[in-house]
Chains A and B, each alone.
Chain A
Amino acid sequence: MGLTVDHLEVCYRTLRGDVKAVDDVTFSIEDGEIMGLAGESGCGKSTLGNSLVRMDIRMRQLGGSVELDGKELPISDAKAMRDFRFKEVSIVPQYAMSALNPTRRVGRMVAELLKSRGFDYKSALPELERRVKLVGLDEDILRRYPIELSGGMKQRVVMVISTLLNPSLLIADEITSALDVSTQRAVGEMLLEFRDRNFVKTTMVITHDLSILAQVADTILIMYAGKLAEKATADVVINNPLHPYTQLLISSLPDVGIRHDEHTLVGIPGRPPPLLNPPAGCRFRDRCPFAFDRCANEPPFVEVKPGHSVACWLHADGVLPSGGV
């Protein structure tokens, strides 16, 4: 069943007008799939993740719908979402390091959290301890204050708590960005482990680090300026990307073994366009080395090969919508 997002549009209300951070986004995640969501800062990836769990007061859903396991997810209704949060959809936020209550021991915090959702801590405790041990921590940790834990430990504790009730959808927002390489690996492998043990059904990993996604994700979705740019299996996105943005993004990453004097990498010139009044047509046009006159129209996000969708006129031939050039 999994997650289906259909033409979702989310904006931030500001004094100067609506900033559409998620613009006409359509995708789905199958059961047991880990989907990576990547892009530069300000491309709307965190907004998309947050909107599936909790819309904050500035955010507003302008259109589209979200379906989880065949049920409509009422994302714009904060009260109705309360039945889904933590049980069906769960998030490991960007600030996971500071998500723990500093005045409570970890165990007591979990107890209070479970009680507020109508669950009993005592009966959940054996499972909690089992999972804490599974991620390589000592169950002793439940009797500790967050200040006694290191960054990697807090990150793992938050992940265990978030997935305690076996949610259907887990959103992991930049969970590896603040960690050391050895801890990054441990957390990345945890995501795979949780999937294999059916603790979570579908996972969405939001990050700007494509090399982490190459390790853990099954499919990768690239966003640019609030719109979808490319979606395919991780292997295809890394090795045979079609969208110029994805190609440039990947070619600008220094992989281990690349040396400056042998092979000089280049970045992408320019900055993403402002989303307050985004330019018409393809939003990547100004930075794209392949831009041509057709790019003045907005490219459709279409499937060009089985399982590989791209929003670029270079690859849209044969699927031209009526009214195109």
Chain B
Amino acid sequence: MLVLDNVTKVFKTGTFGGGTLPAVRGASFEIRPGEVTALIGESGSGKSTLGKMILRLTPVTSGTITFEGTDIAILKGKQLREYYRHVQGVFQDPFSSYNPVYRADRVFATIRHSYYPGVGADEWRERVDKALESVGLNPVDVRDKFTHQLSGGQLQRILIARALLLDIKLLIADEIISMIDASTRVDVLNLLANLKTRGLGVLFVTHDLSLGNYISERTIILRRGAVVEMGATAKVFDNPQHEYTRMLLTSVPQLHKKWEAESGPELETTRVAPAHDEGRPGRYSKSSLHPLAGMRARKGRRAQAAVTERDLAAGLLRTDTYLRTHEEVLPLVEVEEDHFVATSTGAR
């Protein structure tokens, strides 16, 4: 349905846009109808940027996004409106998605105004009630209410109902449950999972692996803007191939299992050449493990470096930017049916 081909997004940073920050690097994947695709990554992995590019909220730097055979970058005016008839997004903060001055159900009126001007008031009311019921809301509870009178879960569901009023085929759900209370969170999740029975495709953007695992058919793991592993959810979670996926899985706090003690060697990222300042031993004795290893590479001394993932978490953002710019995007290799891993050494 929606195909991303080698999509890259580079943001300009710094005072006069002198610096660059690659947010998404060569992402290629497909979202199919009737499936929930989980896009999992930590902060700064480019997962929200991908969602925004699909919704045409931010332009693509290079690569193409095609929806049912049409490149979405060239859509204009009427065509773009037709695109939004099929593709809609729901975002993280339900309270800032609404205008607090107006009643919450005004979002339905705006849909009628721009997409269904010919529909009569009675019929429209019926359609809205049906959409509200299909997201598990009682229309009486939410009609004519202001945003402060409704809970976060109700507001998010109204936004999903709003999308359902259109001929929606793809829903981008960007962290939609992270601001909702734990007790109602799972209801919104179940609702999303039920949408796929209507033939809808859902891109579920999240940082929480357990949520992704709960509802998705397919999983895509992003690190620093590049896809490191993707495939059928069961395969990715039961048989993680990439070290980064494994690290994420061991870090997830679980109810019935304690964090395991550090096991095996420290996770290494792909080699970054050059670094390691051998000229000054003593001062940086653990130089290759130093969080600044990537930084010092700029000074041009030749050697090898391996920045560990944990050091990076502790280390500097600048190191991260350095890696984004210089680290090679590895090709995805199919290790088993419907399970791809980014690797430099070929299939294992």
Contact = CB atoms under 8 A, between A and B. Distances in A.
- Report which residue of A209, A255, A265 has the largest number of chain B beta carbons within 10 angstroms of its beta carbon: A255
A215 B248 CA distance: 16
Contacts of B209: 181, 256
Contacts of B211: 254
Given A249-B183, A260-B193, A267-B186, A212 B43 contact: no
B300 to A, nearest CB: 21
Contacts of B208: 181
Contacts of B189: 254, 260, 265
Contact of A136 (B186, B187, B314): B314
Contacts of A41: 181
B249 A256 contact: yes
Interface stretch (A86-94, A159-167, A183-191): A183-191
A266 B214 CA distance: 13
B268 interface: no
A253 B183 CA distance: 8
Given A40-B181, A209-B253, A256 B213 contact: yes
Nearest to A213: B253
Contacts of B184: 267-268
A319 B210 CA distance: 40
Given A152-B313, A186-B313, A210 B255 contact: yes
A208 B247 CA distance: 24
Given A137-B314, A181-B248, A268 B183 contact: yes
Interface in A255-288: 255-261, 264-268, 271
Interface in B85-137: none
A260 B43 contact: no
Contact of B310 (A136, A211, A264, A265): A136
Interface string A141-161: 000000011111100100000
A254 B292 contact: no
A160 B214 CA distance: 36
Interface in B10-68: 42-43
A151 B253 CA distance: 19
Nearest to A136: B314
Nearest to A215: B253
Contacts of B259: 185, 188-189, 215
A137 B316 CA distance: 10
Which of A136, A138, A248, A254 has the largest number of chain B CB atoms within 10 A? A254
Contacts of A266: 186-187, 190
Which interface residue of B233, B251, B252, B255 has the most chain A CB atoms within 10 A? B255
Contacts of A111: none
B182 A182 contact: no
A249 B182 contact: yes
A214 B254 contact: yes
- Residue among B182, B183, B213, B254 with the highest chain A CB neighbour number at 10 A: B183
A231 B258 CA distance: 20
Nearest to B318: A148
B186 A258 contact: no
A80 to B, nearest CB: 36
B256 A239 contact: yes
A314 interface: no
A250 interface: yes
Which among A135, A256, A259 has the highest number of chain B CB atoms within 10 Å?
A256
B313 A258 contact: no
Given A182-B313, A214-B255, A215-B258, A40 B190 contact: no
B247 A182 contact: yes
B183 A252 contact: yes
Contacts of B201: none
Given A136-B314, A181-B207, A259-B214, A253 B251 contact: no
Contact of B255 (A135, A138, A148, A253): A253
Given A180-B43, A267-B187, A259 B213 contact: yes
A302 interface: no
Contact of A264 (B190, B234, B252): B190
A113 interface: no
A265 B190 contact: yes
B303 to A, nearest CB: 20
27 contacts: A150-B317, A153-B314, A180-B313, A181-B252, A181-B253, A186-B313, A186-B314, A189-B259, A209-B253, A210-B182, A210-B255, A211-B252, A211-B253, A214-B253, A215-B253, A248-B183, A252-B186, A253-B186, A258-B214, A259-B214, A260-B190, A260-B215, A265-B190, A265-B214, A267-B183, A267-B185, A267-B187
Query: What 5 A-B pairs are tightest by C-beta distance, nearest first?
Result: A180-B42, A268-B183, A254-B214, A267-B187, A211-B253
Interface of B: 42-43, 151, 181-187, 189-190, 193, 207-211, 213-215, 233-234, 237, 247-249, 251-256, 258-259, 291-292, 309-311, 313-314, 316-317
Interface of A: 40-41, 135-138, 148-153, 156, 180-186, 188-189, 208-212, 214-215, 238-239, 248-250, 252-261, 264-268, 271
